[in-house]
Amino acid sequence: MFTFDLALVWLDLAGVFFFAVSGSLLAAKKQFDIIGSLLLASLVALGGGVIRDIIIGAGPPAAFTNPVYLVPPLLAAILVYFLFSSIQRFTSLLTLFDAGGLALFCITGTLKALAAGMNPVAAILLGVTTAVGGGLLRDITANEIPTLFNARDLYALPAFTGAALTALLWNIGTFNGVTAGVIAAWVFAFRVVAWRRGWRVPLAVRGWHRAGVSSGADSRGRD
């Protein structure tokens, strides 16, 4: 059985870094100062894990007990500070780094919940919460429409598939480093392809269109 050992800690730290870069990139686009960049990077990178640890009652969240978790946000803020002027044309970078964090956190969140004795369904839900929680906090803080609620984008669904696959493989005893990499690659590819191709899920009410809903006007938006 694959346990939440040192390898998973590194996996978790990698997810922290990817999300932190996405936060610093958004801060740069919003013209925040370097402190704002660091805080937004920390919020998105650590927010999901803090929510996870509080829910499962794991004691003080790892972000506050292990100083190494503070290194990725600091590194991300520094890298964006020095490199953003040369990469600001590539707006897709924010989505790519966000997808990387999403792919890793849906796995680590699910695994930590399973290791804490939660049932598979609860573990899947907590894995998704871990994956999308930081991004939700990031977007709200930066006064952006949260990606989680964007009708023109898929966000929670890739995380859900990754969390479900993780729980399934854990319970049948086939989860290991290789399968973890396959799941992460799948979630990352699902998220990026859906974003590039404009894949969407139906709106809350059948027949609604994606423009003019709130005003009641004729639907002239794109489905």
- pLDDT tens sequence across 24-50: 999 988 889 999 999 999 999 999 888
Confidence at residue 90, expressed as pLDDT on a 0 to 100 scale: 62
Lowest-pLDDT range, 60-69, 72-81, 132-141? 60-69
pLDDT average, residue stretch 166-192: 92
The helix-helix angle for 6-29 and 34-55 (nearest 10°) equals 140
Q: Is the pLDDT of residue 177 over 90?
A: no
Q: What is the band of 204 on the pLDDT scale with cuts at 50, 70, 90?
A: confident
Q: Are 46 and 12 in contact (CB under 8 A)?
A: no
Q: Is the pLDDT of residue 219 over 50?
A: no
Tokens 């973890």 correspond to what residue?
Answer: 180
The Cβ of residue 125 has, within 10 Å, a number of other Cβ atoms equal to 17
Q: Is the pLDDT of residue 176 over 80?
A: yes
Q: Which residues contact 78 (CB under 8 A, 6 or more apart)?
A: none
> Buried b vs exposed e over 56-79: b needs ≥16 C-beta within 10 Å?
bebeebbbeeeeebbebbebbbeb
Q: Are 51 and 113 in contact (CB under 8 A)?
A: no
pLDDT average, residue stretch 140-163: 88
Number of alpha carbons in the 13 Å side-chain half-sphere of residue 49: 29
Give the mean pLDDT of the chain.
84
Give the integer Cα–Cα distance in Å for 28 and 81.
8
Confidence at residue 198, expressed as pLDDT on a 0 to 100 scale: 82
Q: Is the pTM for the entire model greater than 0.85?
A: no
